[in-house]
Amino acid sequence: MNYWTAGAAIVCLSISSTLLLAGLSWMVNRQQHRLPLAYLLALIALAVLQSLEFVYHSTDLFQHWPFFLKLADPVVVMIPFCIYGYIRALQGQNILARSRRRRWTHALPVLLVAALAVPFWSLPPEQKIYWMLAGRKNHDLWEPITLYGNPYLAIIGALSLFYWWQQRQQGIQSRRSAVIEWVGNLQTFQLLIALSIAARLALFYLFDIRISLTFVLAPATAYLTYLLLTRINLPVQQAPPRAAATKATAKEIPACAKNEKNDDAHAVFPLLENAMKKGLFRENDLTLGRLAAHCGVTTHQASAAINQCSGHHF
C-alpha cells in the first residue's frame, strides 16, 4: 500500500463528503433554486464516489471485496456532464428537458463505458484481482477490453473539453455579473480537469512517468472546494445604520446641552438669592444687570437662572 496515495485519497474523500453535506443543506434551504443545486449535488456526489474508489484501490481493499471493481467507472464519466448541466441550469435551462436525441447523446459515454465493463464484471473474483494487480504493475499487461487507466482518463478529459467548447459556443445568457463570474470559474474548473489528465498522459507516454490517479484529480477537487468556500456568506457584526446613528447623536447633543444649562441655572440661583437676602432688594434703582454684576454673572445667566428655577419666591 502506498501511504502517500492513501493519505491523499482520504483527504479528498473527507473534503468531498463535507461538500456533499453542505450541498444537501443548500438543497433544503434554497428550494426555489433546486435545478442548479441538483446538478451541483450530483457533481459533488460523483466526486465523493471517485474519492471512495481512490481509497478502495490505494488501501488494497479491492483484494478483500473485488465485487466493487470498475462498478463506479460508468457513473464517474458523468462529471463533465454535471458541470455543463449546472452551468446551463444557472441560466435557466435544463439540458435534459430537450429532445430525446440530446438525452441519448449525453448518455452515450456512460453506455459505452458500461458496455465495455460488462466482460470484466462477469469475471470471477480471483481473475478481477489478478488483472487489477497486473495493470497496476504495468499498464501494458492489461488485456481485458474494459477501459482502464489512461484510456478511461482520456474519455473524461475529452468530455471536459467537449462540454467546455459547447459552453463557449452557446455563451452566457445572463446579464447578472455574479452569474457571469461564476460561469467563468466553472469553465476554468472544466479546463483544469482536462489539463490535469492531459499532463498525466503526456508524462506517461513521453517520459514513462506514472502518477497515481489520486494526484491527477486532486487539484480539481481542491479548486472546486475553493470556489464553493469563496461563495459562502459568513455572518458579520452589523453596524447601526448611519442615519439612525446621526439621528441619535443629534438627540443626545441637545439633551446634554439642556442638562448643562440646568446645572448652571441651579448654581447661579443661590447667588442671586443670597444677594437679595443681604438687603440688595432695598435699593430703589436695582436692576437685573446690577444684580448680575453684584453676583459676578452675566445678565443672561441671571435671567436664565430666574426662569429655570421656578417655584421659588424670588
Give 122 or 302, the one with higher predicted confidence: 122
Task: From residue 21, give the alpha-carbon distance in Å to each of 16, 27, 42, 176, 247.
Answer: 9, 10, 12, 28, 45
Give 274 or 62, the one with higher predicted confidence: 62
Give 294 or 195, the one with higher predicted confidence: 195
Question: 228: helix, coil or strand?
Answer: helix
Q: Summarize the confidence of residues 92-114 as an average pLDDT.
A: 89
Angle between helices 3-29 and 213-229 (to 10 degrees): 30
Is position 236 within any domain? Answer: no
Number of C-alpha atoms within 13 angstroms, CB side, residue 154? 9
How many independent structural domains does the chain possess?
2
**Rounded to an integer, what distance in angstroms lies between the CA atom of residue 101 and that of residue 106?**
9
Task: Say whether pLDDT at 267 is over 90.
Answer: no
Lowest mean pLDDT across 93-97, 146-150, 209-213 = 209-213
41-93 pLDDT per residue, tens: 999 999 999 999 989 988 889 999 999 999 999 999 999 999 999 999 988 88
Q: Could you tell me if 289 and 218 lie in one domain?
A: no
Supply angle C-alpha 286, 289, 294, rounded to 5: 75
Structure confidence at residue 115 (pLDDT)? 95
Cβ atoms of residues 54 and 136 within 8 Å: no
Structure confidence at residue 102 (pLDDT)? 86
Q: Please identify, among 160, 195, 229, the residue that sits at the C-terminal boundary of a domain.
A: 229
Structure confidence at residue 127 (pLDDT)? 94
Of 69-83, 226-240, 269-283, where does the model show the most confidence?
69-83
Q: Could you tell me if 213 and 269 lie in one domain?
A: no
Mean pLDDT taken over the chain: 81
**Torsion sign across C-alpha atoms 299, 305, 311, 314:** negative
Residue 154 in grid coordinates: 482520456
Cβ atoms of residues 66 and 57 within 8 Å: no
Taken as a whole, the chain contains a residue count of 314
Residue range(s) defining the domain that contains residue 264 = 242-308
71 phi, psi to nearest 5 deg? -70, -35
Phi and psi based region of residue 102 (left: phi greater than 0; alpha: psi -120 to 50; beta: remaining): alpha
Largest pairwise CA distance in the chain: 131
Cβ atoms of residues 216 and 153 within 8 Å: yes
Q: Could you tell me if 64 and 196 lie in one domain?
A: yes
Of 76-85, 264-273, 294-303, where does the model show the most confidence?
76-85
Structure confidence at residue 252 (pLDDT)? 47
Structure confidence at residue 254 (pLDDT)? 54
Structure confidence at residue 314 (pLDDT)? 52
Query: Cβ neighbours of residue 50 under 8 Å, at least 6 residues apart?
Result: 12, 16, 72, 76, 79, 217
Q: Could you tell me if 104 and 15 lie in one domain?
A: yes
Structure confidence at residue 202 (pLDDT)? 92
Q: Could you tell me if 37 and 169 lie in one domain?
A: yes
Is position 235 within any domain? Answer: no
Q: Could you tell me if 171 and 285 lie in one domain?
A: no
Q: Could you tell me if 291 and 205 lie in one domain?
A: no
Q: Could you tell me if 63 and 129 lie in one domain?
A: yes
Per-residue DSSP letter, 237: P
Beta-carbon count within 10 A of 88 CB: 22
Q: Could you tell me if 63 and 99 lie in one domain?
A: yes
Give 146 or 311, the one with higher predicted confidence: 146
pLDDT confidence tier of residue 225, bands split at 50, 70 and 90: confident
Is position 237 within any domain? Answer: no
Task: Say whether pLDDT at 245 is over 70.
Answer: no
Structure confidence at residue 120 (pLDDT)? 94
Cβ atoms of residues 242 and 33 within 8 Å: no
Task: Say whether pLDDT at 161 is over 90.
Answer: yes
Of 107-111, 143-147, 226-230, where does the model show the most confidence?
107-111
Task: Say whether pLDDT at 258 is over 70.
Answer: no
Question: 283: helix, coil or strand?
Answer: coil
Number of C-alpha atoms within 13 angstroms, CB side, residue 9? 21
Q: Could you tell me if 124 and 251 lie in one domain?
A: no
CA dihedral 93, 96, 98, 103 (to 10 degrees): 150
Cβ atoms of residues 38 and 68 within 8 Å: no
Q: Could you tell me if 20 and 153 lie in one domain?
A: yes
pLDDT confidence tier of residue 282, bands split at 50, 70 and 90: low
Task: Say whether pLDDT at 228 is over 50.
Answer: yes
**Rounded to an integer, what distance in angstroms lies between the CA atom of residue 172 and that of residue 166?**
11
Structure confidence at residue 311 (pLDDT)? 46
pLDDT cut 70: percent of the chain above it? 81
**Rounded to an integer, what distance in angstroms lies between the CA atom of residue 88 and that of residue 174?**
10
pLDDT cut 90: percent of the chain above it? 34
Residue 60 in grid coordinates: 488494497
Q: Taking the model in full, what pTM does it have?
A: 0.71
